[in-house]
Amino acid sequence: MASDSDIPPGLGDVKAQVYAQGGNEHEWRPFKHTRLYTNAFIIEGNKLLLGFKKRGFGAGLYNGFGGKVEPGETPAQAARRELQEEAGIDAPLEYAGRLFFVVTGVESVFDIRIYVAREYVGVPTESDEMRPRWFALSEDSLYARRLAQSDPQADPPIPGQVAPPVPSVDGDLPDIPYDQMWADDIYWLPHLVRGGCFVGRADFDEGNVMRRYWFGSVPHCKGD
């Protein structure tokens, strides 16, 4: 377990095992206001559903479906509402982790609850905000960019992987488009796909550049 003092500020009182950390900034940035968000991912067999964000924050990137938690909502309720609004589907979402992002130029800090479901109801449908698209879930696809990195030792394998490796997919779905996703995603998406729970923080500059990051696995998924 990481000692409490290793857990980045913002993640609350959590016990976690660090599995990736780095960046060229050595202090965590101070922050004032946090804002709650959700982000939800649908896995169906060997496929992962992502949405291409058409407008607003993160436009031009693929991501899960999500947004701000509105007053009076729990994060779990907000996650289901956003999935319905942005992708036209409903799903039994389960909590998978918490991510905290400080981004240059954005006044409030992102405190994001991540959810996953392995079944859903409805037909993924394009909305004003998101264009849903399926991607292949295979070992190669999950780790594609990490394997290509010049320093593979920088990010050791994620510990505690209990689920069997993800089998390869037949067919011609595209690989997970990490080069069109937030830079943090590759650090926790493989963990989510394997059913693990995680916490993490990254401090970003504009232009999707991570300056400092820390990701840890947690033994039990606790969240709302």
Ligand X SMILES: CNc1ncnc2c1ncn2[C@@H]1O[C@H](COP(=O)(O)OP(=O)(O)OP(=O)(O)O)[C@@H](O)[C@H]1O
For ligand X, which stretch binds (CB under 6 A), given 10-18, 27-35, 54-62, 162-170? 54-62
Q: Which stretch, 1-9, 56-64, 148-156, 157-165, contacts ligand X (CB under 6 A)?
A: 56-64
Please count the other Cβ atoms lying within 10 Å of the Cβ belonging to residue 126. Answer: 15
51 - beta bridge partners?
63, 132
Q: Is 178 in the site for ligand X (CB under 6 A)?
A: no
Structure tokens at 149: 């990195």
Closest residue to ligand X, judged by C-beta, is 67
Does 184 participate in binding ligand X (rule CB under 6 A)? yes
Residue from 41, 101, 135, 143 in contact with ligand X (CB under 6 A):
101
Question: If binding is defined by CB under 6 A, does position 41 make contact with ligand X?
Answer: no
What separation, in Å, do the N-terminal and C-terminal C-alpha atoms of the chain show?
Answer: 23
Torsion, CA 224, CA 4, CA 211, CA 67, rounded to 10: 10
Q: Which is nearer to ligand X, 15 or 54 (CB)?
A: 54
Assess 215 for contact with ligand X (CB under 6 A).
Answer: no
Q: Which of 62, 204, 214, 215 binds ligand X (CB under 6 A)?
A: 204
Distance (Å, whole) CA 50 – CA 135: 7
Stretch that binds ligand X, among 19-27, 65-73, 167-175, 214-222 (CB under 6 A): 65-73
Of 16, 76, 83, 103, the residue at the interface with ligand X (CB under 6 A) is 103
- Could you say whether residue 57 binds ligand X (CB under 6 A)? yes
Instruction: Output the DSSP codes for 89-109.
Output: EE---EEEEEEEEEETT-SSE
- Name the residue with tokens 């991510």: 99
- The C-alpha atoms of residue 214 and residue 201 are separated, in whole angstroms, by 5
Number of residues near ligand X (by CB under 6 A): 17
